[in-house]
């Protein structure tokens, strides 16, 4: 087995990102938005039709309009991580169905991501489709969301199924992340590449006039081990992800959000 050097790790993970919260946030004291029943959402049986009132009609009734609607898919793929043979990875793909096209930012040169950008107060709808060979579900790490929107292992869906999330962004400005959360499978799925960032903005952050654009640098640092064929080697320690640190670093006129995610630390 072969380990990457520090320089290689920084190159591989590139421009992903994060001020990661160290623990799952508590359930927010809010009323969930109406949404299709679990069965309909999982099987994809609820066909969505726009209504004159601006909402959406489903088999479960009418749900209100949202500010941002996304399609998020987990699937298998390959990435050129090291010279030679491509590495088999799992990754997320996202598409904006409604709302600001800039809400989804692809991370070029990395299998991590994408970065999802949203604002405090926005109403969000995400259709998560599982195209992996095993169960999965998405957990919004650090976000204050209703219980059924949190991506608990009990709501994990089978391959080919879809789960629809709806919630209002209540968090203050910060960098959070999303990752898989199926029971006993979380660590392995995240290790293969299923991880992305959620960057929330608000009026307080805007008033602070912090560096932005090219001077706002999200960085994710991970530890990974590869075999002689450039394939990831996951040392299963029970399905957990290990320690997550979240220092915020500032250097001159740049704002750097540094995150480390380790699967090897005791797990």
Q: What is the pLDDT of residue 215?
A: 86
The answer to which of 35-49, 141-155, 191-205, 229-243 has the lowest mean pLDDT is 35-49
List of residues 6+ apart from 175 with CB closer than 8 A: 17, 18, 19, 20, 197, 198, 199, 200, 218, 257, 259
Q: What is the pLDDT of residue 259?
A: 53
Q: List pLDDT tens digits, range 98-136.
A: 999 999 999 888 999 999 999 999 999 999 999 999 999
Say whether pLDDT at 37 is over 70: no
pTM: 0.72
Q: List pLDDT tens digits, range 211-250.
A: 888 888 888 888 899 999 999 999 875 555 544 443 333 3
The answer to which of 82-91, 115-124, 187-196, 205-214 has the lowest mean pLDDT is 205-214
Domain boundaries defined on the chain: 2-43+59-261
Give CATH for domain 2-43+59-261. 2.60.40.420
Whose CA is closest to 16, among 266, 257, 262? Answer: 257
Say whether pLDDT at 267 is over 80: no
Q: What is the pLDDT of residue 32?
A: 39
Residue 2: band (very low, low, confident or very high) from pLDDT cuts 50, 70, 90: low
Mean of the per-residue pLDDT values of the chain:
77
List of residues 6+ apart from 110 with CB closer than 8 A: 12, 13, 14, 15, 16, 79
Say whether pLDDT at 208 is over 80: yes
Q: What is the pLDDT of residue 219?
A: 83
């Amino acid at each position: 087995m072969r380990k990457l050097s520090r320089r290689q790790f920084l190159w591989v993970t590139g421009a992903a990102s994060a001020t990661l919260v160290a623990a799952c946030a508590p359930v927010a004291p809010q009323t969930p938005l109406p949404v299709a029943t679990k069965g309909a959402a999982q099987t994809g049986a609820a066909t969505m039709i726009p209504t004159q009132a601006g909402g959406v009609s489903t088999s479960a009734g009418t749900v209100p309009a949202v500010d941002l609607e996304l399609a998020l898919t987990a699937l298998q793929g390959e990435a050129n991580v090291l010279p030679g043979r491509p590495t088999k990875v799992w990754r997320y793909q996202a598409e904006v169905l409604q709302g600001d096209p800039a809400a989804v930012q692809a991370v070029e040169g990395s299998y991590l991501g994408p970065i999802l950008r949203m604002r405090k107060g926005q109403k969000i709808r995400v259709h998560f489709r599982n195209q992996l060979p095993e169960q999965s579900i998405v957990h919004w790490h650090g976000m204050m969301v209703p219980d059924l929107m949190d991506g608990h292992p009990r709501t994990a869906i089978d391959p080919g199924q879809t789960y629809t999330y709806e919630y209002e962004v209540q968090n203050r400005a910060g960098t959070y992340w999303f990752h898989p959360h199926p029971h006993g499978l979380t660590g392995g799925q995240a290790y293969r590449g299923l991880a992305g960032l959620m960057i929330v903005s608000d009026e307080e952050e805007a008033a602070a006039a912090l560096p932005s654009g090219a001077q706002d640098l999200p960085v994710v640092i991970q530890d990974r081990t590869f075999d002689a064929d450039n394939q990831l080697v996951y040392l299963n320690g029970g399905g957990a992800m290990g320690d997550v640190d979240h220092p915020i670093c500032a250097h001159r006129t740049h704002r750097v959000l540094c995150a480390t995610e380790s699967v090897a630390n005791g797990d």
